[in-house]
Structure 1
Amino acid sequence: MSDFPIILHHFEQSPFSEKIRLIFGLKNLAWTSVRISRIMPRPDLMPLTGGYRRTPVLQIGADIYCDTQCIMRELERRFPEPGLLPRGYEGLAWASAMWTDRSFFQNTVNLVFGSLADQVPADFIADREQLRGAKFDVAAMKAAIPLMRDQYRAHLAWIDTQLCDEREWIAGDTPSLCDVNAYMNLWYVRTNLDQSDGMLAEFDHARAWAGRLRAIGHSQRSEMGSAEALDIATRATPQTEELSDPTDPNGRKPGDRVEVMPDDYGRIRVSGEIVALSAQQIAIRRNDPRAGEVVVHFPRAGFLVFPAA
């Protein structure tokens, strides 16, 4: 479908990146890793995204995909087999991210950083405060550990309940986005906290399920520098085809200039001209002095679209 490599801009500790790395394993895709810093600046990535700074970002040539929702959708479109949408539950599979990436993840990140409070570097705290637009209060997170353990246990119990009929996967006979989305939080706790196995002790089904997902691996990975990835975009031409949405509730259309940003954190507006839009995605064309012409793709759920200032 493309002569360009599948490039993932990520860092190893990123739980959202682990979602995509796991999908590479499930689909047995060869991919190229560009390792970015956990904190800003990221001078070779920002020309590609227009300032969007959340992790990960997928690059295929001069097409740039932001947010795991958008990345998952594109990987499923380009590489439909094996499929990650359980038959009869396709909409719920996509919607499961609104649980796993928001309430479940916020509980998980508070538990992790509360437990590691004394070890969190000052520059990381400052970076995350800029990302959040609010105080990254590790002392408050530490004080709230008992509450976060309660919440984390409740989420684990939901997963365990879904698996209690001895099924191997959350929504069918094969792993799906439901599994990938939920597993991210267990992976994050296990990667960072020694007591993670103890938290799973009462949940036999969830513990076995997490082990099955962990065993899948990340498929064939190669490494690339960020400057080389930027050069690939500069030399390439975006492949996104124009797509109109005749029922867009605000009458938007290709050619309109807009600004797109997340609705929760990392609220940086990325400006461009609409190339394609639908109920689930919007793609905007940008021209950057370093990257040249790129098309940046965003999901619609969880993102806001404004007329360009």
Structure 2
Amino acid sequence: MSDIILHHHDPSPFAEKVRLALGLKGLAWQSVQIPMVMPKPQLTALTGGYRKTPVLQVGADVYCDTRRIALELERRFPGPGLFPAGSEGVALALGYWSDTALFQPGAALSMGTNEQIPAPVLEDRMAFFDFLEDDDLCAPPDHFFSQFVAGLAQLERMLADGRDWLLGDAPGWADVACYSPVWMCRGNIAGGDGLLAPFTRLREWEARVAALGHGERGELDAEAALAVAREAEPMTRPAVGDDAWPRLAVGTPVQVAPDDYGRDPTNGTLLVLDADEIAIAREEGPLGRVVIHFPRAGYRVDPLP
């Protein structure tokens, strides 16, 4: 069995990023399907409360947020690389742009135009996405169409010189991160095919990204994944940089939460804090000791009283 376990659900555009990254690297992995809405008892038992999709597990180390997952996959499996020709900084910046400028209006269009979304999922997402108001789904979707199409046009311009990939001659994280809202558009936005039709270079690039595939996927149930964590020891060593903010020591009780939306906190003791990562240790009762990893960018870490 592969050491890589991905907790996700198939319709998730954020999970699609990671599935394609696994495909780009040609990796074998185990799929654990999680519920689309709360409660998610097995997932939150593993993460200490973090509920966003996807989560990557390797033994008793748990990686949250696609940014942190990408960097960990690159560290463990450096080739083929997600950041060819030294493109890490630009690729991560483009990923952030995609998550905001493209995903947010795309999510609004998905929820506002797709009548196939089950009511419990729609209710859950409206409570979860604090960048949307109930009135947004009652108004004409013109604004969100305009913003989403502006993002598609930007991708078309990035490809205007005839390149195959966003950052040059090889595929990487920039491609899979910017592809995920396009993938969402195809399947979840009413009239999505028509939105994409004018963008010839984008559609050709879309086909190339999709052809990366998802690697070698197996299936695993959630209880088996918890058993893997229970039987393993975390492989993370303590490391807090002298220049890390806030000024906290290893072992400090802390709370970590996203600073955009879905701000469900996770409590634990600080293990790693630097410019790239926050990692905390938790003793999860029958699960034992696990270490949960977050990216530094986009997350708050605060000492607990």
Instruction: Verify same fold: TM over 0.5.
Output: yes
Partner of 1:102: 100
The answer (yes or no) to whether the contact 1:286–1:293 under 8 Å persists in 2 is yes
Partner of 1:126: 123
The answer (yes or no) to whether the contact 2:37–2:121 under 8 Å persists in 1 is yes
The answer (yes or no) to whether the contact 2:5–2:30 under 8 Å persists in 1 is yes
- Asked if 1:192 is matched to 2:198, the reply is no
Q: CA deviation at 1:272?
A: 0.8
Q: Give the Cα separation in 2 of the matches to 1:215 and 1:189.
A: 17
Give a deviation string over 1:93-138, Cα, whole Å, max 9, x none: 112222111232111101111111x44333223322443468763x
1:300 to 276, 296, 302: 296
Letter in 2 for 1:122: A
Q: Give the Cα separation in 1 of the matches to 2:181 and 2:287.
A: 34
Q: Give the Cα separation in 1 of the matches to 2:158 and 2:57.
A: 35
> Pairwise mapping of residues 233-248 of structure 1 onto structure 2 (< 5 A)?
233-248=229-244
TM-score (norm 1): 0.94
Partner of 1:49: 47
Q: CA deviation at 1:88?
A: 4.4
**Change in CA separation of 1:215 and 1:135 when aligned onto 2, cut-off 3 Å:** closer
SS at match of 1:283: strand
Letter in 2 for 1:47: A
Q: Give the Cα separation in 2 of the matches to 1:251 and 1:26.
A: 38
Partner of 2:73: 75
Over 6 Å off, 4+ runs: none
**Change in CA separation of 1:226 and 1:136 when aligned onto 2, cut-off 3 Å:** farther
TM-score (norm 2): 0.95
Q: CA deviation at 1:58?
A: 0.4
Q: Give the Cα separation in 2 of the matches to 1:49 and 1:259.
A: 13
Q: Give the Cα separation in 2 of the matches to 1:106 and 1:94.
A: 17
The answer (yes or no) to whether the contact 2:108–2:132 under 8 Å persists in 1 is no
Letter in 1 for 2:119: A
Partner of 2:9: 11
Q: Give the Cα separation in 2 of the matches to 1:200 and 1:130.
A: 29
> Pairwise mapping of residues 223-302 of structure 1 onto structure 2 (< 5 A)?
223-302=219-298
The answer (yes or no) to whether the contact 1:128–1:136 under 8 Å persists in 2 is no
Partner of 1:215: 211
SS at match of 2:42: coil
Partner of 1:21: 19
Number of positions where the alignment pairs a residue of Structure 1 with one of Structure 2: 305
Give a deviation string over 1:229-255, Cα, whole Å, max 9, x none: 011111111111122211113222321
The answer (yes or no) to whether the contact 1:245–1:253 under 8 Å persists in 2 is no
SS at match of 1:238: coil
Q: Give the Cα separation in 1 of the matches to 2:244 and 2:104.
A: 31
Gaps of 5+ in 1: none
Q: CA deviation at 1:196?
A: 2.2
**Change in CA separation of 1:133 and 1:113 when aligned onto 2, cut-off 3 Å:** closer
2:161 to 139, 162, 165: 165
**Aligned residues: percent identity?**
45
Q: Give the Cα separation in 1 of the matches to 2:108 and 2:126.
A: 14
1:178 to 159, 171, 174: 174
Letter in 2 for 1:101: D
RMSD over equivalenced CA pairs, Å: 1.7
Give a deviation string over 1:69-109, Cα, whole Å, max 9, x none: 11111001000101111324321111222211123211110
Gaps of 5+ in 2: none
Give a deviation string over 1:139-187, Cα, whole Å, max 9, x none: 6325332222211111011111110111000001001111111101000
Q: Give the Cα separation in 2 of the matches to 1:132 and 1:159.
A: 24
The answer (yes or no) to whether the contact 1:4–1:61 under 8 Å persists in 2 is no
Letter in 2 for 1:123: P
SS at match of 2:270: strand
